[in-house]
Amino acid sequence: MQIQENFPLRPYNTFGIDAKARHFSSFSSAEELEELLSIQSKQLSGSSNLPPLVLGGGSNILFSKDYDGLVLKNNIPGMEELTEDEEYVYVRAGAGENWHQFVKYCLGRDWAGLENLSLIPGNVGAAPIQNIGAYGVELAEVFWNLEAFHLQEKKIYTLTETDCEFGYRDSSFKNKNKGRFVILSVCFRLRKDPIFHTSYGSLHEELDRMGIKELTIQAISQAVINIRSSKLPDPAVIGNAGSFFKNPTVSIAEFEDLKEKFPGIVGHETLSGSVKLAAAWMIEQCGWKGYRRGDAGCHEKQALVLVNYGNASGAEILALSEEIQQSVFKKFGITLEREVNIV
């Protein structure tokens, strides 16, 4: 197994941050992962003092500094149908597979459930960690189980939806299980007969604009791709990690109080009876949309997206995010929580 030193991470994070790993390697199986961990504990000076950092597509991470440890790139491949019943197809994907390519694989076989999650950057392994979601659908709704390697016990576990403790852009892997597991593969339960989710405003409008008369999962996917392409910068052109902040949730009473002070505030009632606020609207009201300082900025079309216009450091983008958080709290009394992981 080849382990490289002082390895540049710029090609491995969509922010395009010029950070380095003290040691770096990649793995394509649980066996290779275990071998690399053995090498780390026995041979790598310094790296053993930090837990290994596992990278997927690098689309939800901000390197605020170099990583003085071992970075492991998860390249586990594979997409396959496992079984089916009258209603569902159960399909498994390796954690190293590109998420959108996996979505296309399923759409090409008319397996429904992932169409609203089209064009989300990153790899399959990160999807349950973040409980990715878009346009009215969350990963938890199509999740069945996953296989994960326990770093301390050196064992493979099968974890269910209950084990993962999914929440809004949240899971046990960001809380009690943080740093304990490496996800190897994910199994999804997809419908043979689709249930369409098109109530999200801009999605409904885009389908109308496309002139869609008969809904299909392929049409919904294309509408999502059109919307995302029009609003969000391509990381290959402008470094970014998608939405930098979560949309905060408040009680209905708190929302009514905010509406009295800010009549234009945007919020949507959730199934749980709370109200999810539009973080982008609040950031824009604070004057950050389109703001740029050096090569760090807030995107001109989507205030939730912080960007690297070329050579911004992770520390500069992190500092900008903290200023945005402070100004939103000062104006609205709302604390914005970061969606992006900071290293």
CA distance 228 to 210: 15
CB 320 within 8 A of CB 306: yes
Identify the active-site residue in 169, 172, 221, 228.
169
Q: Looking up tokens 């999804």, which residue turns up?
A: 188
> How many whole angstroms from its chain centre is CA 238?
17
Three-state secondary structure call for residue 5: strand
339 is catalytic: yes
Q: How many Å from the N-terminal Cα to the C-terminal Cα in the chain?
A: 25
Q: Give every CB contact of residue 102 below 8 A, 6+ residues apart in sequence.
A: 79, 93, 114, 124
80 is catalytic: no
Q: Where are the beta strands (DSSP E) in the chain?
A: 4-8, 20-27, 53-55, 61-62, 67-74, 79-84, 88-94, 133-134, 137-138, 143-150, 155-160, 181-191, 239-243, 249-250, 267-269, 275-277, 292-293, 296-298, 305-308, 341-342
Question: In what side-by-side order are the strands of the sheet with 143-150?
Answer: 79-84, 88-94, 181-191, 143-150, 155-160
**Beta-ladder partners of 292:** 297
169 is catalytic: yes
- Measuring CA to CA, which residue among 234, 337, 307, 339 is closest to residue 17? 307
Identify the active-site residue in 47, 171, 243, 313.
243
Active site residues: 169, 243, 339
